[in-house]
C-alpha cells in the first residue's frame, strides 16, 4: 500500500506539480530525483544533465538560477535578490531594484549551509566549501571557502591530493568496485571498514 501511495505522489508531483510537499515528506527523494523534478517542472531558468539538488536546498529566486551539467547542491541557499533594498526604498524614498542571476556552470559542488548571493557566476569545475558566503564570481578550476569566500586551492590540486590519500585507504578496493555513485550492495562492507579504521574493532 505504501509503495502505491509513493508512486501516486510521485506522479502528482512530476506530472502535475501537485502535492510536492507531501511527496518530499513521504517519498524522501534523493538529490538526483529532486533535481529531476525541478527540471521536469521547469522551476529554474535552466538546469543541465546529471544534477543533484538536496530537497532542503533553499533556492529563493529560481527563475534567476541556471545550472550546468553535473551540478551538486547540498542544503545551501541561493539568493537572487537583496532584501535590504525594501528597507532602503522605504527609508530613503527610493525606487531601487537589487536582483541578479546565479549562474552555476558545469561540474560544481556547493556545500552544506553555503550561501550564494545575487550576481554570481561559479565555475566551471569548482567547489564552494560548506558554510561559505559567496559574494563574487568563483573562477574556473577553483575551491573557495570562508566568509566572504576566498580561494583555497585549484580543483586540480585538490583532486591530485585526494587521489593520493585514497590510494592509502584500507577500503580503497571497495571504492574501486563501487563505481561513481552509491552502491547499496557494497555500502555495508564500506561502512564497516571505515568504522573499524576510525575506532578499531568493536
Enumerate the active-site residues: 81
73 CB-near residues (< 8 Å, 6+ apart): 31, 51, 52, 53, 54, 57, 67, 110
Cα–Cα distance between 172 and 155 in angstroms, integer? 21
Torsion sign, CA atoms 134, 135, 140, 143: negative
Inter-residue contact 102 to 65 (CB < 8 Å): yes
| Phi (first) and psi of residue 110, to 5 degrees | -120, 120
Inter-residue contact 107 to 124 (CB < 8 Å): yes
Could you write out the DSSP letters of every residue in 165-190?
HHHT-TTHHHHHHH-SS--TTTHHHH
Structure letter (DSSP) for residue 61: -
Cα→Cα distances 138→44, 77, 108, 124, 171, Å: 20, 16, 10, 9, 33
Amino acid at each position: 500500500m505504501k509503495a502505491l501511495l509513493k508512486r501516486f505522489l510521485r506522479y502528482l508531483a512530476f506530472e502535475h506539480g501537485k502535492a510536492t510537499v507531501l511527496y518530499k515528506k513521504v517519498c524522501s527523494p534523493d538529490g538526483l530525483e529532486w533535481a529531476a523534478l525541478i527540471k521536469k517542472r521547469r522551476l529554474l531558468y535552466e538546469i543541465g544533465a546529471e544534477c543533484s539538488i538536496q530537497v532542503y536546498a533553499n533556492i529563493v529566486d529560481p527563475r534567476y538560477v541556471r545550472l550546468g551539467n553535473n551540478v551538486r547542491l547540498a542544503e545551501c541557499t541561493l539568493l537572487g535578490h537583496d532584501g535590504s533594498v525594501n528597507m532602503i526604498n522605504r527609508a530613503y524614498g527610493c525606487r531601487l531594484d537589487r536582483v541578479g542571476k546565479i549562474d552555476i556552470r558545469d561540474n560544481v559542488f556547493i556545500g552544506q549551509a553555503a550561501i550564494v548571493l545575487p550576481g554570481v557566476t561559479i565555475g566551471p569545475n569548482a567547489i564552494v566549501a560548506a558554510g561559505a558566503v559567496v559574494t563574487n564570481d568563483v573562477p574556473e578550476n577553483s575551491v573557495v571557502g570562508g566568509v566572504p569566500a576566498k580561494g583555497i586551492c585549484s580543483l586540480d590540486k585538490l583532486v591530485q591530493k585526494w587521489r593520493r590519500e585514497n590510494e592509502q585507504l584500507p577500503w580503497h578496493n571497495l571504492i574501486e568496485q563501487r563505481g561513481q555513485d552509491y552502491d547499496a550492495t557494497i555500502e555495508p562492507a564500506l561502512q564497516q571498514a571505515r568504522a573499524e579504521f576510525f575506532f578499531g574493532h568493536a
